[in-house]
């Protein structure tokens, strides 16, 4: 399939949908924005797409908790359809608020019978919104979104981005399984260290193990807190005039990988 179709799911408060559509189009896909209400009315529309992306922003104003309301809509009204979407070998990506949505909906990690999730994204250690650029390093190639990528430099913008697990055992299981696919900092992770090795501001939220991105057991459902769609063009880099000329920003590779997956 030369041009996979991408559904960029938006809701009240989403504010990165246009940038995400642009990123996928630059990568060679056919991308379309769609309001969650339209999908709820006719979930069968999902069958016409190969990639689903939940972009960044503040879905439903982040009332209750970041991403919680949209996550509940997906979990209680669209979960079976999204599971079928995933079972067909398709890709699901969540960026920032979208990562929060995927994690809290149970699409990234299984929810136990009592409704509890083994990991979540909570308030940054400093208790405030962080808007800055950070260095990132990949950890393995379990997720096709990061195939062939070693390091990136991307912006973050969030108040609830600190990744924590229910206990150390869960963190160890995720690390051992290769699901902690993206970390803050410039050094590759060693072993299954729970404590952050990267200090603020390069780890802007205090995430356990410096985790910036996570994938499911298949690698095809992935969430990350940094915004790759905000560094597609070289001129989006804060120091672009002082760097050697380059063809594209680091974030474009994430979207190109998603498109190449279906080539």
Overall domain count for the chain? 1
Q: What is the predicted pLDDT for the residue at 187?
A: 84
From the candidates 16, 19, 160, 227, which is the catalytic residue? 227
Active site residue 215: no
Mean pLDDT of 232-260: 95
Q: What is the predicted pLDDT for the residue at 180?
A: 97
Q: What is the predicted pLDDT for the residue at 63?
A: 87
pLDDT(60) > 70: yes
- Helix (H) / strand (E) containing 82: helix 79-87
141 confidence band (pLDDT: 50, 70, 90)? confident
Q: What is the predicted pLDDT for the residue at 184?
A: 97
Strands of the sheet with 182-184, listed across from one edge? 30-35, 5-10, 51-54, 91-95, 221-224, 211-215, 182-184, 130-138, 151-158
**Token couple for 164:** 């924590």
Tell me the C-alpha distance between 187 and 195, whole Å.
14
Mean pLDDT of 65-72: 94
Better-scored residue on pLDDT, 189 or 241: 241
From the candidates 96, 158, 215, 222, which is the catalytic residue? 96
H helices present in 119-210, as ranges: 168-176
**187-201 tens-digit pLDDT:** 887 778 888 999 999
Q: What is the predicted pLDDT for the residue at 49?
A: 98
**Residues of the chain above pLDDT 90, percent:** 89
Active site residue 141: no
CATH number at 94 reads 3.40.50.880
- Enclosing domain of residue 211: 5-260
216 confidence band (pLDDT: 50, 70, 90)? very high
Active site residue 229: yes
From the candidates 158, 160, 229, 237, which is the catalytic residue? 229
Q: Quick one: DSSP state of residue 144? A: G
Q: What is the predicted pLDDT for the residue at 105?
A: 95
199 burial type by CB count under 10 A (0-12 exposed, 13-18 middle, 19+ buried): exposed
* Global confidence as pTM: 0.96
Q: What is the predicted pLDDT for the residue at 1?
A: 54
Q: What is the predicted pLDDT for the residue at 257?
A: 98
């Amino acid at each position: 399939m030369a041009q996979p179709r991408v559904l960029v799911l938006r809701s009240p408060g989403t504010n990165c949908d246009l940038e995400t559509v642009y990123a996928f189009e630059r990568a060679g896909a056919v991308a379309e924005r769609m309001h969650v209400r339209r999908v709820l009315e006719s979930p069968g529309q999902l069958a016409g797409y190969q990639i689903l992306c939940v972009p960044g922003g503040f879905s439903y104003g982040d009332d209750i908790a970041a991403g919680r309301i949209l996550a509940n809509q997906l979990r209680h009204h669209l979960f079976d359809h999204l599971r079928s979407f995933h079972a067909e070998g398709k890709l699901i990506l969540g960026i920032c608020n979208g990562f929060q949505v995927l994690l809290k909906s149970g699409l990234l990690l299984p929810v136990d019978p009592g409704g509890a999730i083994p990991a979540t994204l909570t308030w940054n250690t400093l208790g405030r919104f962080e808007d800055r650029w950070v260095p990132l390093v990949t950890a393995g190639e379990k997720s096709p979104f990061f195939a062939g990528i070693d390091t990136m430099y991307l912006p973050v913008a969030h108040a609830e981005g600190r990744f924590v697990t229910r206990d150390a055992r869960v963190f160890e299981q995720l690390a051992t399984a290769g699901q902690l696919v993206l970390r803050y900092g410039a050094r590759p992770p060693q072993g299954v260290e729970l404590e952050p090795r990267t200090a603020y501001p390069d780890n802007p939220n205090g995430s356990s193990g410096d985790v910036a991105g996570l994938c499911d057991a298949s690698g095809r459902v992935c969430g990350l807190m940094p915004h790759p769609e905000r560094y597609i063009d070289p001129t989006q880099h804060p120091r672009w005039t002082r760097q050697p000329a380059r063809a594209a920003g680091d974030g474009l590779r994430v979207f190109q990988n998603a498109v190449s997956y279906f080539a």
